Amino acid sequence: MTEKRDYYDVLGVGREAGTDDIRKAYKQAALKYHPDRNPGDKSAEDKFKEATEAYGVLSDEEKRHRYDQFGHAGLEGMAGMDFNGADIFSQFQDLFSDFFGGFGPGGGQRRRSGGPQRGQDLRVSQKLSLKEAVLGCKREISIRAPVACEACNGSGAAPGSSHERCSSCRGSGQVTSAQGFVMFTTTCPTCKGQGTIIAKPCDSCRGGGQVEKSRKVLVTFPAGIDSGQRLRVPQQGAAGPRGGPSGDLFVDVDVASDEKFDRDGADLITRVHVSFADAALGTEISLSLLDGTDLKVDISPGTQPGDVISLQGKGIPHVNGRKRGTLHVVVQVEVPKRISVRAKALLQELETELGQPATPPHKQTDRK
């Protein structure tokens, strides 16, 4: 068996070298002897592994202290001293992640999955009346979704215990294997990418950190909201695993039809019925609006059936502004179906007074 070289000689540093000096020395050696830069060169590959093993010891305060006191013999049997190919490539990737601010050799950001994960978003539908949509309202919406377990505060660990570092991935949440000179990084199967494991799971949530419960969320619907629009309520979705932040709640709005008013964007449309005499002579009518107030509307003399009176600023408020739409009043003239003999005589007299024949001939309008 070939005797191992002194780790300080391998990296070309003195025994008084600081942590930064050791890191820089290893970076230079790793770049020089990395197999990707020396394809087919067994000697370069061996030097790369040797430099990585040296760095693994000298960069660890406890291992370096043991090595300085007892040499290679002092490291025998220590945890983490099984330097196989996967460990070497994993350490090399970790080092470059530190050198380049979280970016690995390939230029892409290295994903570390050990931190708290965000909970899932939830989506519900809510039906509003036209009045509620126009004026705005607050509604309590019932949802059933995972929430943080109260017994373990969402950690998943039994009270009095805590998470332990995963020995398979050493807390990184990923394991790296090498086939030839190609590295393959996958999610750690032991901790499922968390980087930690739960030795004693919580009895209430069985280690999941969550339990499903029904709860109510107070949602504010702004004035002017319309069907098809969606509200986002931050952090009211499902709780995140292991104490992670909650997702969001999305509420899809559906506005019901109304008996008196139709809606067209920010405009309201309503229909009023007036008598023939009122349409001819003119009058003032009172409209009951959605907010409960009454609005006076002038009917001009000679108003025809189907005429529209548009009142700007009396419609629906815009959700993203202060302006309001228009209220359109469609006038419908009521013609009596049954009249008395006297009423008939009076109408004939009126037609004569207006210069119209009592029995005007019917004419078909030409279509152009």
**Per-residue pLDDT for 41 more than 60?**
yes
119 with 245, same domain? yes
Reported as a single tens digit per residue, the pLDDT across 190-199 is 887 878 888 8
pLDDT at 72: 80
236 with 326, same domain? no
180 with 273, same domain? no
25 with 117, same domain? no
**Per-residue pLDDT for 228 more than 60?**
yes
Amino acid, single-letter form, for residue 334: E
**187: which strand partners?**
174
Residues 187-216: what's their mean pLDDT? 85
pLDDT at 178: 65
Lowest mean pLDDT among 86-95, 152-161, 245-254: 86-95
pLDDT at 266: 94
Residues 16-20: what's their mean pLDDT? 88
Q: What is the percent of the chain where pLDDT is above 70?
A: 83
Give me the chain's average pLDDT, please.
82
Best CA proximity match to 95, nearest among 134, 52, 65, 127 = 52
Domain count of the fold of the chain: 4
305 Cβ neighbours under 8 A, 6+ residues apart: 279, 331, 332, 333
In-domain check, residue 31 = yes
pLDDT at 359: 52
Residues 212-218: what's their mean pLDDT? 91
Residues 285-291: what's their mean pLDDT? 94
pLDDT at 19: 86
pLDDT at 104: 39
Reported as a single tens digit per residue, the pLDDT across 116-145 is 678 889 999 999 999 999 999 999 999 988
In-domain check, residue 368 = no
CA angle 15, 21, 24 (to 5 degrees): 135
Q: Is 84 helix (H, G, I), strand (E, B) or coil?
A: coil
Reported as a single tens digit per residue, the pLDDT across 52-68 is 888 989 988 888 888 88
188 Cβ neighbours under 8 A, 6+ residues apart: 166, 168, 169, 172, 173, 174, 175, 195
Lowest mean pLDDT among 76-80, 100-104, 248-252, 296-300: 100-104
CA atoms of 156 and 225, how far apart (whole Å) = 41
Q: Extract the tokens encoding 58.
A: 């000298």
Q: Extract the tokens encoding 290.
A: 């959605």
**Per-residue pLDDT for 301 more than 70?**
yes
Asked if 175 contacts 185 with a C-beta cutoff of 8 angstroms, the reply is yes
321 with 245, same domain? no
pLDDT at 36: 74
139 with 212, same domain? yes
pLDDT at 196: 84
Asked if 73 contacts 44 with a C-beta cutoff of 8 angstroms, the reply is no
In-domain check, residue 174 = yes
More confident residue, 299 or 185: 299
In-domain check, residue 334 = yes
48 with 117, same domain? no
Q: How many CB atoms lie within 10 A of CB 104?
A: 19
Write the DSSP symbol of residue 73: G
CATH at residue 224: 2.60.260.20
pLDDT at 368: 47
Q: Extract the tokens encoding 119.
A: 């909970």
More confident residue, 90 or 290: 290
More confident residue, 62 or 313: 313
Best CA proximity match to 326, nearest among 364, 253, 244, 270 = 270
Asked if 106 contacts 199 with a C-beta cutoff of 8 angstroms, the reply is no
Residues 166-192: what's their mean pLDDT? 78
339 with 243, same domain? no
Q: What is the CA radius of gyration of the chain?
A: 40
Asked if 342 contacts 330 with a C-beta cutoff of 8 angstroms, the reply is no
Q: What is the percent of the chain where pLDDT is above 90?
A: 38
**Per-residue pLDDT for 302 more than 50?**
yes
49 with 62, same domain? yes
Residues 320-328: what's their mean pLDDT? 89
Length of the chain: 368
Best CA proximity match to 166, nearest among 187, 188, 197, 193 = 197
More confident residue, 214 or 359: 214
71 Cβ neighbours under 8 A, 6+ residues apart: none
CATH at residue 12: 1.10.287.110
Asked if 75 contacts 63 with a C-beta cutoff of 8 angstroms, the reply is yes
The whole domain housing 219 covers 113-154+203-256
pLDDT at 106: 39
